[in-house]
Amino acid sequence: MHTRRINWKPTINNTRSDARALPGNFGVEYLDADVTTLSDEALRQLLLDLYANRILVLRTAGLTEAEYVHFARRIGEPLLLIPNKVEHPEIIPVDNLREDIRETKLSAAHWHSDQSFTSPLASVTMLHSLAAPAAGGETHFCDMVAAYDALSERTRSEIDELEVVHRRGVSIVARPEEHAPPVLKQRDYRTVYHPLVRSHPITGRKTLYAVSGSSQGVRGMSDTDAKRLLESLCAHALSLRFLTAHKHRVGDVLLWDNPTTMHKASPIGQATGPADTRVIWRISLTGTPSVFPECRDAGDA
Ligand SMILES: O=C(O)CCC(=O)C(=O)O
Ligand SMILES: [Fe+2]
């Protein structure tokens, strides 16, 4: 079936008077975002801003669990990764309150794209900040579209058709000190293949995808060659000009587009008081947002 894709816009959208570029290399922020009253048209525009800018920060006065989940469900289908909240299993608490935070501290401190070891992968991930430490706790991002665009034509033609082998665990390009081996469940041993270069399902923009995180090899390539290739693409993508970081403030809802970004958490110690407490509600989504019915058959968003 023919699917239409939305024209990509290269700059931040200024139809909203409260939209402004984030201070780093990329990203956009809405200063006064009432997500509970967004029309479908406003949500389409919000998502186009997200896709064009990779990350979008909504400054809110704070959302209830129900408001947050309702907003998220308009953007995709929540992945029930750790269904430990009885009423709203869509919400994954990310905090530094627990005593044993070694795993929490390191499990997301390596460059990755959420759920790249599964199919479908995560489309948009959202973090709503309830408590923010005075120092540290930023989430770091890498713009994989800009990284792809900056490759030479020759490299692009060499890698355009390659498929990367993904499996949960420590990627062959990871720095072990940044990546604690995850505790694996039976389903995590499954291998999936994702294109190294993907077209974004909504915008059609080409992007490098998840060179770090769960990458274990390249289909049809020796381990040595695959490691060399993925390491060089990773080093390229992690050049300073493609990086930014967001410092969370209470009330922020940070959204990112997993297909076109990698991210990592900053390791943070256990909270000792309000000044260093970090409490975030994470929701990761999959699928195509309902407000883009024309893109429904375009594959993983
Ligand atoms: O805590 C953060 O800043 C990011 C968390 C993260 O990447 C994850 O939970 O997958
Ligand atoms: Fe993540």
For the record, the structure tokens of 129 come out as: 């900040």
User: For ligand 1, what atom is nearest to the CA of residue 140?
Assistant: 3
Q: Which CATH architecture has domain 19-111+120-138+244-295?
A: 4-Layer Sandwich (3.60)
Topology alike, domains 19-111+120-138+244-295 and 143-237: yes
Ligand 2 centroid, distance to 66 Cα (angstroms): 22
Instruction: Specify the residue for token string 């293949």.
Output: 193
Ligand 2 centroid, distance to 114 Cα (angstroms): 5
Q: Provide the strand spans (E) within 196-293.
A: 197-199, 206-208, 215-218, 243-246, 252-257, 261-265, 279-286
Q: What is the CATH number of domain 143-237?
A: 3.60.130.10
Please state whether the predicted TM-score (pTM) of the whole model is above 0.95: no
Alpha carbons within 13 A on the beta-carbon side of 282? 20
Sorted by where each begins, the domain ranges of the chain are: 19-111+120-138+244-295, 143-237
Q: List pLDDT tens digits, range 170-220.
A: 999 998 777 777 777 777 779 999 999 999 999 999 999 999 999 999 999
For residues 69-80, average pLDDT: 96
Ligand 2 centroid, distance to 15 Cα (angstroms): 30
Average pLDDT, the chain: 89
Pocket of ligand 1 contains residue 282 by CB under 6 Å: yes
